[in-house]
Amino acid sequence: MAMNREMGEAARRFGGFGVAVAVAAVVVVLAVLGSFTRVGVGEVGIVKHFGAIDTEHPDVFGPGIHTKIPFRDDVVIFETRIQKEQVDSSAASKDGVTIHSTITINYHIESSKAPLILQNIGANYKDRIIDQQIQQAFKDVTAQFAGLELIQKRETVAETAKTVLRDKLAPYYIVVDEFTIPNYEFPKEFNDAILATQVANQQNLQAKQLQDKAKTEAETALIVAQGQANAQKAQATTLTPEYLQLQAIQKWNGQLPQYLTPNAALPFLGAASIAPAAPAPVVPAAR
């Protein structure tokens, strides 16, 4: 019995020692793994010491493998490459038309200011700042344009909104690269009004084209008639008898007609005429 108790006590002592060894091994493994951190390309790592950031002299890791003190240091990864964000937004135009749109922006953060962004906003700065400011910029800009102008001046609206959003995000060290408004969604009544306006404009354009065509044809007819009148007037002043005779001479083949009627004028010889031959005298016969 005594031996059994001693063996049980030894087993308990060994089991407790084994647990301690296992725990120590886990701690060592975690310490080893926690001594290294990896920062990818296009990223920076901000080091927090016991959850705090030294904003005056922050520890910032660039791309690569870095060592840190386990259980003390924590590394927060920030993306520094250009990122894309889409936000569904609603706003009202200058004339009170409700607009729905999906706004798309490209942006990036100032990598040197990543510690300040983490300190003042947090790692979820996109949800806390960017999405909210995109919607506000869209509302500020659409209020400056009438509903129809938003369609006609889409590029101007987007460029203006980009400038407004850039000014709103600059204090947070976020840079806006592109601002795009892919589409607008208007109420059905507004779309119907636009369609009716387009149809009316098309009809007016066709009517004007017909008027312009009729005017052009009338002007062309007038020019043709005036040209013919001028030509006739010119002919009246230039078709003298001498000119006509010259034209006939130039076209004459040099042959005289074989038969001439009595009193007919010879060609190109004026009014001279050929008189009929006188009859021969009749001489009486001798008796």
Q: Backbone phi, then psi, for 45, in 5-degree steps? A: -115, 125
Average pLDDT over residues 181-206: 72
Inform me whether the pLDDT recorded for 161 exceeds 90.
yes
Q: How confident is the model at residue 140 (pLDDT cuts 50, 70, 90)?
A: very high
Across 84-88, 190-194, 275-279, which has the greatest mean pLDDT?
Answer: 84-88
Q: Give the model's pLDDT for residue 258.
A: 65
Q: How confident is the model at residue 283 (pLDDT cuts 50, 70, 90)?
A: low
Inform me whether the pLDDT recorded for 23 exceeds 50.
yes
Inform me whether the pLDDT recorded for 159 exceeds 60.
yes
Q: Give the model's pLDDT for residue 273.
A: 47
**∠ CA(95), CA(96), CA(99), 5° rounding?**
110
How far is 42 from 64, CA to CA, in rounded Å? Answer: 11
Q: How confident is the model at residue 71 (pLDDT cuts 50, 70, 90)?
A: confident
Q: Give the model's pLDDT for residue 249.
A: 72
Per-residue HEC secondary structure of 205-232 comes to HHHHHHHHHHHHHHHHHHHHHHHHHHHH
Q: What DSSP letter does each residue of 97-143 carry, written as one string? A: -EEEEEEEEEEEE-GGGHHHHHHHT-TTHIIIIIHHHHHHHHHHHHT
How far is 112 from 119, CA to CA, in rounded Å? Answer: 13
Inform me whether the pLDDT recorded for 26 exceeds 70.
no
**∠ CA(167), CA(170), CA(185), 5° rounding?**
50
Q: Alpha carbon of 116 to those of 56, 174, 180, 184, 233: distances in Å?
A: 10, 11, 28, 36, 94
Alpha-helical segments (H) within the chain: 2-33, 114-120, 125, 131-142, 147-152, 154-169, 188-238, 241-251
pLDDT in tens, 97-122: 888 999 999 999 999 999 999 999 99
Inform me whether the pLDDT recorded for 130 exceeds 70.
yes
User: How confident is the prediction for the chain on average, in pLDDT?
Assistant: 79
Q: Which residue has the higher pLDDT, 211 or 252?
A: 211
How far is 184 from 101, CA to CA, in rounded Å? Answer: 5
pLDDT-above-90 percentage for the chain: 32
Among left, alpha and beta (phi > 0; psi -120 to 50; other), residue 173 is left
Q: Give the model's pLDDT for residue 1.
A: 58
CATH architecture of 83-186: 2-Layer Sandwich (3.30)
Q: Give the model's pLDDT for residue 287.
A: 47
Whether the pTM exceeds 0.85: the reply is: no
**Per-domain residue ranges of the chain:** 34-81, 83-186, 189-225
Inform me whether the pLDDT recorded for 31 exceeds 60.
no
Q: Give the model's pLDDT for residue 67.
A: 86
Q: Which residue has the higher pLDDT, 134 or 278?
A: 134
Inform me whether the pLDDT recorded for 252 exceeds 70.
no
Q: Give the model's pLDDT for residue 9.
A: 60
How far is 227 from 277, CA to CA, in rounded Å? Answer: 53
Inform me whether the pLDDT recorded for 64 exceeds 80.
yes
Q: Give the model's pLDDT for residue 214.
A: 77
Instruction: Compute the chain's Rg from CA coordinates.
Output: 53
How far is 178 from 134, CA to CA, in rounded Å? Answer: 12
Q: Which residue has the higher pLDDT, 25 or 88?
A: 88
The one-letter amino acid code at 230 reads N
- Between the two ends of the chain, the Cα-to-Cα distance in Å is 218
Q: Give the model's pLDDT for residue 274.
A: 47
Task: Give, as one character, the DSSP assignment of residue 263.
Answer: T
